[in-house]
């Protein structure tokens, strides 16, 4: 078990406190009927949904609920959790008692379930703020892609600025406050003919999106730009 925990710590990038939780998170019921990942998976699924929902609301504040719901589904489904689980190399750590399964590639569902269980373990071990940071780190690159293409505020502001001024928007970092486990970034953005507009976010990327959204709203209210809000293209 120590070898598995050491590798988990290396893959996750932090020190594990409650070892027994992580041991369960990588244990399939075929290996242990009583101490396996099933209950942690149940918890992790809810924690993941909460954190991703919060991030989507912060990232796309003007988006319709129906589109946010579809985006959420694309980010918390089994395929996505399998993808993240593979990136964390969970397939090399999961304990399985079924010899037939051991001889073959571990099926996607087991890796996906273990990934959700891992989130549940991190939540119980480190708390909500910590697990939210972990989720954002591993899901961040997936927020803007896959099944639903959303033109985000930063991209739209760039398109508008290039079309009107042939110049890119100017972003500047203002501050980073708050504790390490829950930072708050402040970023400002301006165009050629505007003042700087500031906004906050839990990461630089989210702060830039918030600042771009704020400036676009100002421009829209001045009737300088219209119909900028996100539109959807189904693949």
The CATH number covering residue 191 comes to 3.30.160.20
Last residue of a domain, one of 128, 147, 166: 147
Last residue of a domain, one of 131, 147, 163: 147
The CATH number covering residue 110 comes to 1.10.1520.10
Q: Which domain covers residue 35, as residue numbers? A: 2-147
Is the domain of 36 the same as that of 70?
A: yes
Q: Are 10 and 41 in contact (CB under 8 A)?
A: no
Is the domain of 164 the same as that of 125?
A: no
Is the domain of 43 the same as that of 84?
A: yes
Q: Are 189 and 197 in contact (CB under 8 A)?
A: yes
Split at pLDDT 50, 70, 90, the class of 197 is very high
Residue-wise pLDDT for 114-164, tens only, equals 999 999 999 999 999 999 999 999 998 888 764 554 557 888 898 888 888
Q: Judge whether residue 104 has pLDDT over 60.
A: no
Q: Judge whether residue 193 has pLDDT over 50.
A: yes
**196-233: buried (b, 16+ CB within 10 Å) or exposed (e) per residue?**
ebbbbbbbebbbbbbbbbbbbbebeeeeebeebbbeee
Is 171 in a helix, a strand, or coil? strand
Is the domain of 8 the same as that of 117?
A: yes
Catalytic option among 41, 113, 116, 125: 116
Quote the pLDDT of residue 233.
34
Q: Judge whether residue 196 has pLDDT over 50.
A: yes
Is 125 in a helix, a strand, or coil? helix
Catalytic option among 45, 113, 132, 152: 45
Tell me the average pLDDT of the chain: 86
User: Residue 220 catalytic?
Assistant: no
Q: Judge whether residue 184 has pLDDT over 60.
A: yes
Q: What is the mean pLDDT of residues 75-84?
A: 90
Q: Are 123 and 44 in contact (CB under 8 A)?
A: yes
Is the domain of 79 the same as that of 125?
A: yes
User: Residue 41 catalytic?
Assistant: no
Q: Judge whether residue 71 has pLDDT over 50.
A: yes
Q: Judge whether residue 234 has pLDDT over 70.
A: no
Is the domain of 158 the same as that of 137?
A: no
Is the domain of 136 the same as that of 165?
A: no
Is the domain of 118 the same as that of 226?
A: no
Quote the pLDDT of residue 231.
37
97-101, 157-161, 164-168, range with the lowest pLDDT: 97-101
Last residue of a domain, one of 97, 118, 147: 147
Cα–Cα distances (Å) from 46 to 77, 134, 178, 222, in that order, read 12, 15, 26, 41
Quote the pLDDT of residue 164.
86
Q: What is the mean pLDDT of residues 23-47?
A: 94
Domain tally, the chain: 2
- The pTM score is 0.62
Is the domain of 63 the same as that of 82?
A: yes
Is the domain of 140 the same as that of 58?
A: yes
Is 139 in a helix, a strand, or coil? helix
Neighbours of 15 (CB within 10 A): 8
Is the domain of 45 the same as that of 136?
A: yes
Is the domain of 85 the same as that of 130?
A: yes
């Amino acid at each position: 078990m120590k070898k598995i925990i050491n590798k988990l710590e290396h893959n996750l990038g932090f020190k594990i406190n409650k070892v027994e939780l992580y041991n369960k998170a990588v244990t399939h019921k075929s290996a242990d009927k009583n101490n396996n990942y099933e209950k942690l998976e149940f918890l992790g699924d809810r924690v993941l949904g909460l954190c991703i929902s919060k991030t989507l609301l912060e990232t796309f504040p003007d988006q319709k609920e129906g589109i946010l719901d579809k985006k959420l589904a694309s980010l918390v489904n089994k395929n996505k959790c399998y993808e993240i689980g593979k990136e964390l190399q969970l397939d090399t750590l999961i304990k399985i008692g079924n010899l037939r399964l051991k001889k073959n590639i571990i099926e996607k569902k087991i890796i996906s379930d273990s990934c959700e269980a891992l989130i549940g373990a991190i939540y119980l071990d480190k708390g909500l703020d910590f697990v939210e940071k972990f989720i954002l780190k591993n899901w961040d690159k997936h927020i803007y892609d896959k099944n639903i293409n959303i033109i985000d505020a930063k991209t739209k502001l760039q398109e508008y600025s290039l079309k009107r001024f042939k110049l890119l928007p100017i972003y500047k970092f203002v501050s980073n406050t708050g504790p390490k486990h829950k930072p708050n970034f402040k970023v400002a953005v301006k165009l050629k003919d505007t003042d700087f507009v500031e906004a906050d976010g839990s990461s630089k990327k989210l702060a830039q999106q918030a600042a771009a959204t704020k400036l676009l709203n100002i421009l829209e209210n001045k009737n300088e730009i219209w119909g900028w809000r996100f539109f959807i293209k189904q693949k």
